[in-house]
């Protein structure tokens, strides 16, 4: 029986993975080693009981008692805290999904590759903040990383592994998010609620707001650069409001292979779960006649400065990814808390990148986790200082 672990089980990606595992037979088909959550004790306990997990870990230590109570009478072990998540990631499992949101996903993902495991990676932040470290550790320990972000899963599926050097460029699509049709001068007054609704995908709140600001696509451009070792000029972004084509690979002979499917994360998660097989998945088949047409637009860097910043991060290399990721997370926290406007997020991140570039060793890729975390903390402080200097938004 295959063993699996899911980090971030209580989130949007985690729920989709749980659905796939249950439909595939649950504890009859898979041995679940570890499931983790952030604060949602009730749902974590429910999932752990259903899959008969060996251990359930909640990241908030104050919730250990509540988790123990919720698991009373079951065989599932309860644990809490960052170090317990770290320990759970070191437990052997054949397949591990990294679906924690944000930089908290970095350490568990790294532990999985360091034990030579198979890491299904939804947490794009790990590749943005620490791509060279994660990829080097993966090679060193003979690990396998399978992309779960839908565009990268699509690229992975379109890439003819024998002809990677014949790739002319790749294209990842973007829906354009909640504000793609808003007049530019309205963007500065966009509220958290408005930014939290996605036209096509049902996802966690943070990635949904990142889709509206295009920071999500910016992260994905960097993710493609790190994972597929492609330079800026070989990664293109195309706005495709219907979210049916997820990515395309254009070869030197002029052929372009595209990956199409309905916007349902269970495809990308299920593909990674069954790889290299293609097992049946509960994803509705595509009905192109019903859709009628697919449309495309060039990305607008005035509307979405995050895309320009992503290009600069790739050109700079070194610690720029760690700074970009952390500054973006901090700016997003500040937008959600009402401390800055929607349109302040990109200038806040740009400020942190400028400050980072002035510090020693910015040009060197962090080779250790501690170095990544130090750049992360400095970037968050730089964003906070930028906001404090400007005062509250009225
Ligand atoms: P959600 O916000 O829905 O879920 C996040 C998960 O992480 C939850 O299980 C949450 O726990 C847990 N969590 C939050 N903070 C911490 C922490 N500090 N330590 C440990 N666990 C924590 O996010 P999504 O599922 O939308 O996204 C997960 C990842 O997948 C992100 O990296 C995202 O970019 C990526 N991704 C998501 C897609 C999607 O369709 N949603 C598509 C492609 C990529 P709890 O809820 O219990 O507090
Ligand atoms: Mg994506």
Which top CATH class is 2-147? alpha beta
Residue nearest to atom 14 of ligand 1 (CA): 38
- In angstroms, the CA 38 to CA 281 distance is 28
* Residues 306/215, Cβ–Cβ less than 8 Å: yes
Instruction: Kindly tell me the sign of the dihedral angle through the C-alpha atoms of 200, 205, 207, 209.
Output: positive
Which ligand ends up closest to the CA of 173?
2
Task: Tell the residue number behind the tokens 């998540």, with chain if given.
Answer: 85
Residue nearest to atom 15 of ligand 1 (CA): 38
Instruction: Kindly tell me the sign of the dihedral angle through the C-alpha atoms of 335, 222, 160, 116.
Output: negative
Digit-coded pLDDT (tens) for 77-131: 999 999 999 999 999 999 999 999 999 999 999 999 999 999 999 999 999 999 9
Say whether the peptide bond before residue 276 is cis (omega within 30 degrees of 0): yes
Tokens at 51, concatenated = 């899959």
For residue 66, which phi and psi values (nearest 5 degrees)? -65, -40
Look at the domain 153-263+283-390 and name its fold: Rna Polymerase Sigma Factor; Chain: A (1.10.1740)
CB half-sphere exposure, 178, CA atoms < 13 A = 23
Tell me what percent of the residues of the chain surpass a pLDDT of 70: 99
Digit-coded pLDDT (tens) for 138-179: 999 999 999 999 999 999 999 977 778 899 999 999 999 999
Residue nearest to atom 10 of ligand 1 (CA): 38
Best residue among 5, 10, 11 to mutate for probing ligand 1, ranked by most atoms within 8 Å of CB:
11
Best residue among 6, 7, 8 to mutate for probing ligand 1, ranked by most atoms within 8 Å of CB:
8
Mapped onto helix, strand or coil, the DSSP state of residue 188 is helix
Mapped onto helix, strand or coil, the DSSP state of residue 242 is coil
Best residue among 101, 213, 219 to mutate for probing ligand 1, ranked by most atoms within 8 Å of CB:
101
Domain ranges of the chain: 2-147, 153-263+283-390
Question: Can you tell me which atom of ligand 1 is nearest the CA of 150?
Answer: 43
Residue nearest to atom 22 of ligand 1 (CA): 38
221 C-alpha to ligand 2 centroid (Å):
10
DSSP classification of residue 28: G
Digit-coded pLDDT (tens) for 312-357: 999 999 999 999 999 999 999 999 999 999 999 999 999 999 999 9
pLDDT of 394 above 80: no
* Residues 120/96, Cβ–Cβ less than 8 Å: yes
Residue nearest to atom 41 of ligand 1 (CA): 203
Q: Where are the alpha helices (DSSP H) in the chain?
A: 12-23, 41-51, 64-70, 82-90, 106-114, 124-140, 150-158, 192-195, 205-213, 215-228, 265-274, 288-291, 305-316, 320-336, 345-357, 369-390
Which ligand ends up closest to the CA of 151?
2
Identify the residues whose C-beta falls under 6 Å from ligand 1. 8-14, 37-40, 59, 99-101, 104-105, 122-125, 149-150, 201, 203-204, 206-207, 265
pLDDT of 377 above 90: yes
Q: Residues with Cβ < 8 Å from 302, sequence gap 6 or more?
A: 184
Question: Can you tell me which atom of ligand 1 is nearest the CA of 40?
Answer: 47
Q: What is the mean pLDDT of the chain?
A: 97
Question: C-alpha distances in angstroms, 193 versus 103, 209, 243, 337, 338?
Answer: 24, 9, 22, 12, 11
SS (H, E, C) 62-75: HHHHHHHHHCCCCC
């Amino acid at each position: 029986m295959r063993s699996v672990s899911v980090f971030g089980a209580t989130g949007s990606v985690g729920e989709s993975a749980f659905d796939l595992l249950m439909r595939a037979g649950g504890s009859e088909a898979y041995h679940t080693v570890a499931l983790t959550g952030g604060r949602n004790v009730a749902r974590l306990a429910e999932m752990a009981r259903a899959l008969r997990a060996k251990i359930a870990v909640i990241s908030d230590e104050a919730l250990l008692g509540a988790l123990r109570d919720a698991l009373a009478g079951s065989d599932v072990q309860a644990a809490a805290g960052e170090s317990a998540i770290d320990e759970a990631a070191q437990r052997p499992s054949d397949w591990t999904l990294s679906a924690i949101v944000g930089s908290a996903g970095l350490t568990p993902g790294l532990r999985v590759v360091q034990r030579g495991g198979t890491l299904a990676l939804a947490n794009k932040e790990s590749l943005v903040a620490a791509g060279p470290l994660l990829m080097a550790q993966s090679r060193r320990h003979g690990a396998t990383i399978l992309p779960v972000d839908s565009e990268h899963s699509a690229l992975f599926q379109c890439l003819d592994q024998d002809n990677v050097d014949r790739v002319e460029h790749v294209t990842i699509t973007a829906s354009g998010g909640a504000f793609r049709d808003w007049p530019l001068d309205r963007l500065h007054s966009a509220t958290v609620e408005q930014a939290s609704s996605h036209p096509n995908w049902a996802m966690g709140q943070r990635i949904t707001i990142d889709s509206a600001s295009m920071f999500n696509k910016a992260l994905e451009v960097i993710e493609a650069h790190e994972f597929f070792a492609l330079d800026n000029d070989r990664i293109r972004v195309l706005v495709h409001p219907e979210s049916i084509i997820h990515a395309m690979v254009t070869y030197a002979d002029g052929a372009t292979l595209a990956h199409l499917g309905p916007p349902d994360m269970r495809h990308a998660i299920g593909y990674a779960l069954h790889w290299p097989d293609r097992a049946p998945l509960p994803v509705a088949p595509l009905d192109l006649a019903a859709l009628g047409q697919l449309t495309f637009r060039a990305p607008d860097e005035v509307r979405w400065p995050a895309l320009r910043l992503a290009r600069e991060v790739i050109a700079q290399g070194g610690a720029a990814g760690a700074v970009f990721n952390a500054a973006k997370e901090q700016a997003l926290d500040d937008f959600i808390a009402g401390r800055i406007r929607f349109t302040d997020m990109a200038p806040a991140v740009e400020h942190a990148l400028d400050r980072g570039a002035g510090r020693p060793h910015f040009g060197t890729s962090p080779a250790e986790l501690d170095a990544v975390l130090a750049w992360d903390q400095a970037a968050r402080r730089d964003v906070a200082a930028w906001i404090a200097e400007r005062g509250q938004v009225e």
